[in-house]
Structure 1
Amino acid sequence: MNSPQGKAFSRVSEDDREAAVRRVREAYAEEHISHEEMDERLGRVLAASSRAELAAALDTLPAEDPGTTATIAAAGGRIKRRGAWRVPRVLKVESAFGRVRLDLSRAIIEGPVVDIELSLGTGNASITVPRDAIVEVEGLTTGWKDLRYRPRQPSRPGAPRIRFSGAVGYGRLKIRHAWR
């Protein structure tokens, strides 16, 4: 099943299906397709049982925007973001010494997934995510102190997925969900 043909005929995951639905709706919102064509494509996406059928339903749609990457870096001092700031698809946070405070609770998160890559030396980091966000921390390693995070369940369908990766050296990383 590792061949290209085997992959095309593999079963469709729910994430793949949700991404395809979102892509069809975006094409309609951007006036690339008519309402009738959107309905027809959504029906095909929802009925697809293989990736090949899913790809055929998305054929001729404009290419998906891969998103942007931004880096916030400080050798020493603080990194702080809060309020209505725009979160890119991939956010790299680099700090050798100092504190990091990121509040995504009111941030503008345009895509379904945000990847946050941490490269922190010493100092504590506190990250607040939206109340209904799905948080993944499997790609994250901590050095001296442990990660403090308590998952919140359940999340609403279509909630943003925030994936953390990278390394935290000598400091505590605390990830929490916003209260509202």
Structure 2
Amino acid sequence: MTSLSEDPSRLIGEPDRDTAVQRLREAYAEGLISHDVLDERLDQVLAATTHGDLAFALDSLPAEKAGTTSTLAAAGGRIRRRGAWRVPRFLKVASAFGRVRLDLSRAVIEHPVVDIELHIGTGKVKITVPRDAVVDVEGVRTGWKPTRYKPREHSGPDGPTIRISGVVGFGRLTVRHAWR
């Protein structure tokens, strides 16, 4: 994912726009901006084409809260998270070689959108998402085997959106929905 502090003339993509919309919604929910300001800023974000446009729409918002980004890293071996763990807004996962297993099915997900950025050299990555989650794997580049993911036909309207991006070199990313 790109940062809003980049070159202001650089064109934005949908993930950038979604992140900006989410920041506005969070600011409104926390009482930092009024409903009228939210409407005005959402219009600006939806019409934005460059990072400069987004920065203008978000300029009076406070910086994102500390602790909304976490990194799980290992040079080798396994990275595993399961059970009732707290999922940050942005999760970076880096492994030179080894297996990665993230089970979000019973995790505490406090954010409507969670971005998972993968930097995997060699190894399998398996991610289990909640049954009602909406998953976007368009931002993942694989060097060896294609990503395995079959979207659910009926995702719930209240489920989180899980956006997965990054690189999986020699290995495979498998994403599946939990049964329960």
TM-superposed deviation, 1:47: 8.3
Q: Does residue 114 of structure 1 match 2:114?
A: yes
The within-5 A match list for 1:124-163 is 124-163=124-163
Cα shift at 1:65? 4.3
C-alpha displacement of 1:75: 0.6
Aligned to 2:43: 51
Q: Aligned with 1:145: secondary structure?
A: coil
Bigger Rg over Cα: 1
Does the CA contact (< 8 Å) of 1:23 and 1:64 recur in 2? no
Q: The residue matched to 2:76 in structure 1 has which SS?
A: coil
1:2-29 deviation per Cα after TM superposition (whole angstroms, max 9, x unaligned): xxxxxxxxxxx9x949x64x654443xx
Normalising by structure 1, report the TM-score: 0.69
| Superposition map of 1:7-156 within 5 A | 16=21, 20=25, 23-27=27-31, 41=35, 51=43, 63=62, 65-66=64-65, 68-156=68-156
1:141 aligned partner, one-letter code: R
- CA displacement at 1:140 relative to structure 2: 0.5
Distance 1:146 1:24 in 2: 39
- Opposite residue 51 of structure 1, the aligned amino acid is D
DSSP-derived class of the 2:151 partner: coil
Structure 1 position 153, deviation (Å):
2.4
Structure 2 segments unaligned to the other structure (5+ residues): 1-17, 45-59
Superposed CA offset, 1:62-81 (max 9, x none): 85845611110011110000
Would you say 1:178 and 2:173 are equivalent positions? no
CA contact (8 A) 1:148 1:173 kept: yes
Q: Residues 125, 47 of structure 1: CA spacing in aligned structure 2 closer, same or farther, 3 A cutoff?
A: closer
RMSD, matched Cα: 3.5
Aligned length: 152
The worse-fitting range, judged by mean Cα deviation, of 140-149 and 66-75 is 66-75
CA distance in 2 between counterparts of 1:116 and 1:123 reads: 17
Give the TM-score, by structure 2 length: 0.69
SS in 1 for 2:176: strand
Q: Aligned partners of 1:76 and 1:47: how far apart in 2?
A: 47
Seen in structure 2, the aligned counterparts of structure 1 residues 46 and 129 have a Cα distance that, compared at 3 Å, is: same
CA spacing shift, 1:126–1:51, aligned 2, 3 Å: same
